[in-house]
Amino acid sequence: MIDLSVAVNCLNIMKSRGNRDEYKIGMIKEECGGLSMSYDVGEIVLFRESEDNSNRLTIESPMTQEAINEEGVRGSYITTLRTIVWVPSKYVEEIRI
């Protein structure tokens, strides 16, 4: 499971690369019944709110520094995995750092 330091590092890398999306760090706070999600309660995620203020989120799993570096060797700028869109915001609690 990803820890908070991995999420902070990933978010910093994304910002240094000019990512303009407003990502935040959060934690899955309850079972997401009915959604085909492979996230567990307590798991750390990066999320961004939908642009239409619909209380829906896009959530992503941050990659470790090592995994980001491996992608970079291949010429890839991937920093997150397991992206799921239109997740109700009630399932994610923001972690303020």
Please state whether the predicted TM-score (pTM) of the whole model is above 0.85. yes
CA distance 55 to 57: 7
Q: What is the pLDDT of residue 43?
A: 93
Q: Which residues contact 60 (CB under 8 A, 6 or more apart)?
A: 45, 46, 47, 80, 81, 82, 83, 84
pLDDT in tens, 21-30: 789 999 999 8
pLDDT in tens, 65-84: 999 999 999 999 999 999 99
